Amino acid sequence: MKILVIGSGGREHALVWKIAQSKKVEKIYCAPGNAGIAQIAECISIKAEDLAGLLSFAQQEKIDLTVVGPEVPLTLGIVDLFNEHGLKIFGPSRLAAEIEGSKAFAKDLMYKYQIPTAAYGVFTESVSAKEFLDDIGLPCVVKADGLAAGKGVLICENRSEAEKAIEEILCDNKFGTAGNRCVIEEFLNGQEVSMLAFTDGETIVPMVSAQDHKRIFDNDQGLNTGGMGAYSPAPIYTANIHQQVIREVFEKTVSAMKAEGRVFKGVLYAGLMLTDKGPKVLEFNARFGDPETQVVLPRLCSDLVDIMEAVIEGNLNEELVKWRDEAAVCVVLASGGYPETAEKGKVIQGLEIAAQNALVFHAGTKMDKGNILTDGGRVVGISALGNDIKSAIDKAYQAVDKVYFENMHFRKDIGQKALTAQELEG
Ligand code: AMP
Ligand code: GLY
């Protein structure tokens, strides 16, 4: 089979790495890819948002299966477009991807079908939005409705912060059309877990749990980022909670989407808050998470292409999806200035040595005259498997120690929360 993977981050490198292990695959292309992906696939310089360009490439090369990494092409309807032209593609349709593309849509769906989530209101004008602050209480969370690359969520401690957030979204158009509506939510306390599942629109097969580290600095301090590291499994996510999440979140959501005429096929990702009143949904994504994919896929024993074909054909079953017991940890190495800006063009050293004992997934990198250079905020993710989280942490950081570029920075505490949770349990 010839496969086309769309995207250019650590998630896509992990996807290409896993797909390359499939016996069915003879050739992988990636658009646009990065320097690490280029070592195992042929990179094509077509942007992930260029639907027409991707379609004509897939037609020309007779691609057998296209796999979509990021959310933007999904919400633009790439799956519908490819299907109209008789091309096989893994991911949800435009209507189904709205579960990520519009937070108002996702919240209204959860309300209608009684899927556990924070109390909320949706507003198009600031006066009524501000009045709602009296009802929802403080702190609260103000979100732009549409896609904002993770930056459209503002946690507000007091009223003036909340009013400012509302004005930025609804009046100043800080997030463009993504801010035509804003969602205001009750603030939830607890630990976050990412649960991803494969679904063919009927059958749901969950992946293993993971936890992201969204803040830039240790101990969850500083600004939000795309994700500074992850581990899997999340020990606080017990078997009991899992049963609840499957029943109350995944089964209800997949059947709700079907009832709404938006059958969801692909990867459904639930960002969960484990509150003292049970697990609640913070958000849905319509795709693999990043960096979660960099710890989840190394734990997958099965052939990913078999699973993706079963999802598309509507015959997904549990037998197709087997996991390793080992734990996995991923540490993201970021550029100077990230997340506000990102230095680029720094020579990266030590990647080959690091790759001897760990998985090195490139994100913002490019090749230049024989050197691998930094080319974005998140540069590489270093993942390691271990018998438990502790040994996976040690292995990942030993490999991190081998890598250097100017002003490189990374969190030193990836996975520590899992160790604390284990101690509390044990
Ligand atoms: P979202 O993109 O909606 O998942 O929001 C991004 C991040 O903001 C989440 O991962 C949480 O850390 C935080 N967040 C979002 N909604 C809430 C909420 N209702 N209560 C507390 N934290 C939240
Ligand atoms: N790790 C968060 C995301 O993929 O959206």
Look over the chain and give the mean of its residue pLDDT values, rounded to a whole number: 96
CA nearest to 59, candidates 84, 83, 87, 32: 87
CATH of the domain at 234: 3.30.470.20
Whether residue 266 has pLDDT greater than 60:
yes
Confidence at 70, pLDDT banded by 50, 70, 90:
very high
Give the pair of three-digit tokens for residue 100: 């990520």
CA of 150 to the centre of ligand 2 (A): 8
pLDDT at 326: 97
CA of 282 to the centre of ligand 1 (A): 6
Q: Which residue has the tokens 């079963």?
A: 310
Q: How many domains does the chain have?
A: 3
Is the domain of 280 the same as that of 412?
A: yes
Q: Is the C-alpha dihedral spanning 30, 20, 326, 205 positive or negative?
A: positive
Q: Which of 139, 170, 186 is the last residue of a domain?
A: 186
pLDDT at 424: 63
Q: Which of 167, 186, 205 is the last residue of a domain?
A: 186
Element (DSSP H or E) covering residue 60: helix 51-60
Q: HSE on the CB side for 23, CA within 13 Å? A: 3
Q: Which of 91, 110, 127 is the last residue of a domain?
A: 91
Per-residue pLDDT averaged across 120-137, rounded? 93
Indicate the DSSP class of residue 421: H
Ligand 1, atom 8, lies closest to the CA of 153
pLDDT at 423: 67
Per-residue pLDDT averaged across 324-335, rounded? 97
Per-residue pLDDT averaged across 103-119, rounded? 98
pLDDT at 176: 84
CA of 226 to the centre of ligand 2 (A): 7
CA of 226 to the centre of ligand 1 (A): 13
> Based on the number of CB atoms within 10 Å of its own CB, is 45 exposed (0-12), middle (13-18) or buried (19 or more)?
exposed
Give the pair of three-digit tokens for residue 76: 């633009």
3-state helix, strand, coil in the chain (%, to 5): 35, 30, 35
Ligand lying closest to the C-alpha of residue 228: 2
Whether residue 148 has pLDDT greater than 90:
no
pLDDT at 27: 98
CA of 153 to the centre of ligand 1 (A): 7
Is the domain of 382 the same as that of 250?
A: yes
pLDDT at 251: 98
Atom of ligand 2 nearest to the CA of 230: 1
Per-residue pLDDT averaged across 168-186, rounded? 90
Whether residue 171 has pLDDT greater than 90:
no
Q: Give residue 148's domain range.
A: 119-186
pLDDT digits (tens, 9 = 90+) for 344-363: 999 999 999 999 999 999 99
pLDDT digits (tens, 9 = 90+) for 151-161: 788 999 999 99
CATH of the domain at 51: 3.40.50.20
Is the domain of 156 the same as that of 220?
A: no
Ligand 1, atom 14, lies closest to the CA of 282
Atom of ligand 2 nearest to the CA of 289: 4
Whether residue 426 has pLDDT greater than 60:
no
Distance CA 363, CA 357 (A): 19
> Based on the number of CB atoms within 10 Å of its own CB, is 2 exposed (0-12), middle (13-18) or buried (19 or more)?
middle
Q: Collect all residues with Cβ–Cβ distance below 8 Å to 287 and sequence separation of at least 6.
A: 68, 69, 70, 71, 74, 91, 100, 266, 267, 269
Instruction: Say if 262 falls within a structural domain.
Output: yes
Is the domain of 245 the same as that of 143?
A: no
DSSP secondary structure, 256-295, as one string: HHHHTT----EEEEEEEEEETTEEEEEEEESS--TTTHHH
